[in-house]
Amino acid sequence: MLISDKEPEKKFPAKPKRVLMVNEQRSFQVMMKAILINLGISNITSANNAEEARRRCQKGTFDIYLIDYDLGVGENGRQLLESLKNQNLIPPQSVVIMVSGDSSRAMVLSALEAEPDEYLMKPFSQEQFAFRLKRALARRQALTPIFTALADSNWPALITVSAALAQTHPRFANYCRCIQAETYLKLEQAQDARDLMRQLLAGQENSWARLILGKACNSLGLHEEAVGHLQTTLKNTPLMVEAHRWLAESMLALGNTERAQQELKRAVDISPQSVLLARRLAEVCLIRHDYAQAKEVLLSLIELSRNSIHCTPHYLGAYIQALTLYSLNSNDSHQIPHLQKQVNAALSRLRDSLMMSEFNYPAFEQICQARVQIALGEPLKGKRMLYRANQHWLDDQANPSPALLGETALALYQLGEFEYADSLQSLLAANPDTLLTICIQTALDDRSAQEQRQRYEELNNLGTNAYQAGELEQALTHFREALRRVPANTVAALNKIQVLLLLMPNSQKSLQLRAECKATVEELDGIPLNPTQQERFHALRQEFDKLN
């Protein structure tokens, strides 16, 4: 977070400074080198794009990182900075200055969200640059213990040094106390954070402190009080998107999901480049079953995250979920036929990013296409695609990919393989992801899906009871109806095969039953089912072959 302070001393520290300048424009590089040399800084390394800058940072460190927001095709400056921080490639004592020629609010807020030490609008003078640089260097030097503890995620040390520096450096006292309070929240010591911020605010109003106080109250379950503090924050600082976000969280806790969605929408409108805000808005839209807005937000999220550390297949999976539920619930017959085209477009957006990682993109893409086929009314075709995409881990579920596991569970629920999907819940719990969890819950809560599952379970139970009572004809009727409701359900299909095998030898309709049994066996044949189902199918298949 940037801090406005009085101008520090004019003199640079004696130690020569190493600068990494990341900019694709040759003219800007020449101008900045001249400015830096005039300021006594001659050790300058240039990089034309994010990838080159990352390679430079992997080979050595710098004292000053001068990053342009617009780096052309690929990662932008904000995404590069996030990546470098994520890989711990920027030393705690180093200064980051981001520059941009775009003065739009969205661009500025996007840049500030990455928390550079300074942000400069082009064009700027040598005097402006010198002032900002000296201020940032002085601040970094004074607060190095804080930045070191932050880099090491050493929360107890961060509390200690923040409290100490608040006393020894009055200019940065409010910043230090806010950092201390934020750290209390990380350690789930919300009452300590609340007490500290109330003490700070007793002396003067401070929007950051008021925001933290609202967050602390929310953590303590004091949601009404949190709402009051967060509304005050927004009255004083209307563009503070974090206040909108936490006001939304308070509204969610109070059960006002509509207001929560409105606040998050305002936050995204203010800062449309924020991946984290867009993600939370998508989650709340799904919770509220607002699939129309959810799919729009998720589509933008796919684009926003494509070249960043936030890139994940979960966004694409959630987008397919929102598209599917929107299509099925919109009463618009034109929506389903467009599903394939929309999914293909989204897959192409993420393909390059995901293919470059260790993620099994081909399997993921096949699962996504399976979900499309199911939505298009081809459940058996979708089932084959789904099970074949997953056969590499069906027999060994020790370390499944969370993304593949989540997409498989969603597809299974969509397919009507309720028993199998439920069995994966323990594996999903071991790899929690909020968005994935919400997507699965929407699949469970969807009214049409609930009605389908309830009727299927009733019919399957009726068939099981009739089978156990020896009423085979009645059992067959129930299993047939269950499969009519969910044509791709393996449990119902296996139950039907078992009943048919018992009826075939003594029935006057033996030929018809044999043909029905053969067709059902062929539907399952070649599909790599889960181990329990595969064992049962193998035994039934052998029995069927003996009768032929």
Reading the block at residue 254, the tokens are: 């109070």
The answer to whether domain 274-445 and domain 452-546 are alike in fold is yes
What pLDDT score was predicted for residue 332?
66
Separation CA 466–CA 173 (nearest Å): 76
What pLDDT score was predicted for residue 10?
44
Choose among 352, 350, 282: nearest CA to 321: 282
**Strands 118-121 and 64-68, sheet pairing:** unpaired
**How does DSSP assign 406-442, residue by residue?**
HHHHHHHHHHT-HHHHHHTHHHHHTS--HHHHHHHHH
Per-domain residue ranges of the chain: 18-142, 274-445, 452-546
What pLDDT score was predicted for residue 421?
87
- The CATH homologous superfamily of the domain defined by 18-142: Response regulator (3.40.50.2300)
**Strands 95-100 and 18-22, sheet pairing:** unpaired
**pTM of the predicted structure, to 2 decimals:** 0.85
What pLDDT score was predicted for residue 489?
93
**CATH code reported for the domain at 274-445:** 1.25.40
Asked if residues 449 and 443 have their Cβ atoms less than 8 Å apart, the reply is yes
Distances (CA, A) of 309 to 24, 82, 83: 21, 7, 6
Written as one letter, the residue type at 80 is: L
Separation CA 413–CA 333 (nearest Å): 22
**How does DSSP assign 488-528, residue by residue?**
T-HHHHHHHHHHHHHHGGG-TTHHHHHHHHHHHHHHHTT--
**How does DSSP assign 288-344, residue by residue?**
TT-HHHHHHHHHHHHHHHTTSTT--HHHHHHHHHHHHHHHHHS--TTHHHHHHHHHH
What's the distance, CA 91 to chain centroid?
A: 27
| Candidates 3.30.70.330, 1.10.10.10, 3.30.1330.40, 1.25.40.10; CATH matching 452-546 | 1.25.40.10
**Strands 18-22 and 43-47, sheet pairing:** parallel
pLDDT string in tens for the chain (548-residue length): 444 444 444 444 456 689 999 999 999 999 999 999 999 999 999 999 999 999 999 999 999 999 999 998 888 999 999 999 999 999 999 999 999 988 787 778 887 888 899 999 999 999 999 999 999 999 999 999 999 999 999 999 999 999 999 999 999 999 999 999 999 999 999 999 999 999 999 999 999 999 999 999 999 999 999 999 999 999 999 999 999 999 999 999 999 999 999 999 999 999 998 999 999 999 999 999 999 999 999 999 988 888 888 888 888 889 888 988 888 777 666 777 788 888 888 888 777 777 666 678 888 889 989 988 988 888 889 988 888 887 665 555 556 677 788 888 889 998 899 988 888 877 777 667 888 889 888 888 888 888 999 999 999 999 999 999 999 999 999 999 999 999 999 999 999 999 999 999 887 888 999 999 999 999 898 787 778 888 999 999 999 998 87
Separation CA 3–CA 136 (nearest Å): 9
